[in-house]
Structure formats: C-alpha cells, structure tokens
C-alpha cells in the first residue's frame, strides 16, 4: 500500500483561514483561497517541496503549516516579487502578496480613496461604469438592476430607415 493510503483522509484542511476540499489535489485546492492563482499555488508548492498532485486531505500538519507560512511571507521563501498581487504598496512602498479578507479590505479602501480624490477611475466607480476602458455602446446597459434595451430616437419610425 502506498504511504498516502495508510494515513486517514481529512475532508477539510484549513490553510490561510480557508477550508479546502480534502479530495482535490493541493495545487487546485489552493486556488480556492482568495488571492492565490494557479501560478502562485505552483510557486508555493515548489518552495515547500510538496508534490502538486498530492491530495489535500493527506497533507501532514507540518506541511499545512509550511504552506501557511509561505503564503504569509512569500518573499522569504524565494518567490519572485513579480508574482505578488500588490507591488509597490502606496502606504509602505513594499511588494506584498495579500490573501483572503485583507485583500478584499485593501481593494475596498483603494476604491474609496479613488472616489475621495475624484480620480478618473474613482468617478467611473461612483457612476457604476466600467473602469478599464471597455466600450459602453452595447454593453453595461443596466440601470439600478434593470436591463435597458436599445433606445430609438423620437423622430424615426419602425418602417423607415
């Protein structure tokens, strides 16, 4: 029997304050943590020297704590700064990787700051319009939850072009 079969499967494993499915491979399970992409989970597992195909439920406590530690401080374990989701933080000027509720909280604060200083992106957020340069002629036709159709000009009739 392989070594994994002797150990009992845990159906839920808690890493970075998130319950992960014990039946999934660890590389895919880590992507369920808000702020961790497939590439970043790959880098974390390489740094921890854990097999990517190993089921999450068969991880030992030392392996889960090692993964947790790497997610909290990825720069200490040789993960490159270009993989981080918050480069040159405006408050501290450092490169960070935020995960979970801290990521949500920081994003909300960034949006509030943009609205407060009335930057272009802040104004787009205020009016509920797309922020990243998308076209608005045919998309984003919503008004307080209602979908709006194409509005015809008053002078035109249905039969005439």
Higher pLDDT, 91 or 144: 91
What structural domains does the chain harbor?
A: 8-83 (1.10.8.50), 101-139 (no CATH)
In the block, which residue shows the tokens 């990521």?
A: 103
The closest alpha carbon to 18, from 99, 81, 90, belongs to 99
What pTM does this model have? 0.74
- C-alpha span between 84 and 70 (Å, rounded): 12
- C-alpha span between 107 and 14 (Å, rounded): 24
Q: Is it the case that residue 157 has pLDDT exceeding 70?
A: no
Q: What is the pLDDT of residue 4?
A: 47
Q: Is it the case that residue 31 has pLDDT exceeding 90?
A: yes
- C-alpha span between 84 and 35 (Å, rounded): 9
Q: Read off the pLDDT band of 1 (50, 70, 90).
A: very low
């Amino acid at each position: 029997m392989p070594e994994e079969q002797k150990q009992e499967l845990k159906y839920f494993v808690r890493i970075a304050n998130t319950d992960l499915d014990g039946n999934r491979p660890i590389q895919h399970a880590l992507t369920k943590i808000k702020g961790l992409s497939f590439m970043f989970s790959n880098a974390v597992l390489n740094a921890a020297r854990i097999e990517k195909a190993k089921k999450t439920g068969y991880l030992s406590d030392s392996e889960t704590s090692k993964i947790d530690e790497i997610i909290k401080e990825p720069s200490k374990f040789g993960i490159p700064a270009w993989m981080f989701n918050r480069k040159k933080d405006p408050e501290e000027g450092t490169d960070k990787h935020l995960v979970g509720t801290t990521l949500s909280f920081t994003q909300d604060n960034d949006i509030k700051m943009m609205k407060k200083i009335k930057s272009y992106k802040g104004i787009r957020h205020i009016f509920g319009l797309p922020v990243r340069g998308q076209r608005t002629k045919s998309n984003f036709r919503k008004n307080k939850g209602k979908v709006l159709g194409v509005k015809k000009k008053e002078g035109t009739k249905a039969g005439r072009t």
